[in-house]
Structure 1
């Protein structure tokens, strides 16, 4: 099943890999494959396209950046069994890394993708060289999660136009400048046989059990286990990760570095890709320099 057909002119994935249980995973890449591998994982309800600017900047800096659509998102397959939990996501990540043939990647994850990355490293599923978490930590704000759920639950019957899609996004992200062209929205929706536009994700993704207490305990244990170079990036306007939540993570993982992008919300890379990209490349230049030895 899918949400509908892709709109004409939307970018085809550069690569397709096989994830856990045969799930097809779609991805893009930037830079020289001989450079250090940086795997970029998006947040819930996003796609690999959220990383385009960051991927291009990393590629230009000497890294090999790979972004992929999580199962049930974008151009990746929907899970026939409806499994979209963290463990399934970690298994898909392992499959992509194996397909790429490099075993010590840098993991960069925003929101959902950050949780996947933290579990992958903290529970020894992936031997990573560095970890960058974007606006996510063990302790998050329920209000922010509720706001995300409300946004994703809009218009289950579908949007009548791309203008309606743009209005929904503008309401959820008032701090972001509204684009003059609607062309960029086309890659985030699908067109149904009824003429309605729907988000690219499997609706069952949102149906999973939300046990934030259990999630927090698991991620706290993962954070305490971290020994690799780690960077936490927070959006200063975020309603998901508060400053207290960020400090809580830094107490669990004292060697972590921290950047607060004061003018960004939860979607840090989308809101201030310039500041975000500079912060990431500066950190990696010291921790995992391209063509050099790790410091």
Structure 2
């Protein structure tokens, strides 16, 4: 089944979702990570056996086919949380399972900490809490943000691509496990032609600037502890994010099962879609 496009207006912006609709009452909402897009969940969708799930993959604001914030705006982390609150209510049917990767996992965790009844299940893929930031580090970030955005020079942060083949090469360099066939498909979704004959990635270059306000670690931990729906954590056995910080974050919730998928790095949905599909089927069936 090929996905269909759905657009939802939320918080002043038009958000895009790729939808695989089997007609049933279980909605599976897929949330991508930083500088990614919803269509990249296709490998997972294709690995699932035929079912009646209503699967929807969101493009976060400023990513994929969702609208950019425009002049004078910025992408503050709480904006994503507010978007998720609106979109989850708009797409859910009788049951809502959230599957969230990386940045999307952090957003989903914060949302479900604030809205414990918002979903019926949470599958975190390579999700971890924010890195600690000192008061001096906060001021340093603010300085860097001002340097990058006052004024904002889009050309400075918009890394152009020479061609679609260039996009494929860059994806394979960034994700060595991807393979040529997957990289070509992903590039076709993630890159777009420009008016001057070049190519660019489908996200607002404003995302490449340093966010000025780190999410407080203590508050994030409170949100994580307040998540009440059934939750499972999945990671790549070869992920670069494995380590003491992740262990400390996960140990705050010893009741949450955690599993590492062999052969996968950080981009689990690209590296091991079949294994991830198996975990999702098992999780939804419980």
Superposition TM-score tier, normalisation by shorter sequence: 0.7 to 0.9
User: For residues 285 and 127 of structure 1, do their structure 2 counterparts lie closer, same or farther at Cα, with a shift above 3 Å needed?
Assistant: same
Find the counterpart in structure 2 of residue 100 from structure 1.
Answer: 91
Q: Distance in 2 between matches of 1:180 and 1:229?
A: 32
Q: CA RMSD in A?
A: 2.8
Aligned counterparts, 1:1-295, within 5 A: 14-21=5-12, 23-57=13-47, 60-80=50-70, 81-100=72-91, 102=93, 105-124=96-115, 127-138=118-129, 156-179=158-181, 182-209=184-211, 214-239=215-240, 241-286=241-286
Q: CA deviation at 1:183?
A: 4.9
Provide the C-alpha distance between the structure 2 equivalents of 1:67 and 1:180, rounded to a whole number of angstroms. 18
Q: Any conservation in 1 of the 2:225–2:252 contact (CA below 8 Å)?
A: yes
Distance 1:53 1:91, change over 3 A: same
SS across alignment from 1:14: strand
**TM-score between both structures, scaled by the size of structure 2:** 0.82
C-alpha distance 53-13 of structure 1, shift in aligned 2 (>3 A): same
C-alpha separation in 1, matches of 2:42 and 2:182: 19
Unaligned stretches of 5+ residues in structure 1: 1-10, 143-152, 287-295
C-alpha contact (below 8 Å) 2:117/2:228 kept by paired residues: no
1-structure distance, mates of 2:264, 2:245? 16
- The CA deviation string for residues 136-169 of structure 1, in whole angstroms up to 9 with x for no partner, is 2115699xxxxxxxxxx99835111122212211
Number of equivalent positions: 263
The alpha-carbon deviation at position 198 of structure 1 amounts to 0.7
Instruction: Verify the 8 A CA contact 1:94 1:126 in the aligned structure 2.
Output: no
CA distance in 1 between partners of 2:182 and 2:42 (Å): 19
Conservation of the 8 A alpha-carbon contact between 2:61 and 2:80 = yes
Closer, same or farther: CA 121–184 of 1 in aligned 2, 3 Å: closer
Give the TM-score normalised by structure 1: 0.79
Q: CA deviation at 1:88?
A: 0.9
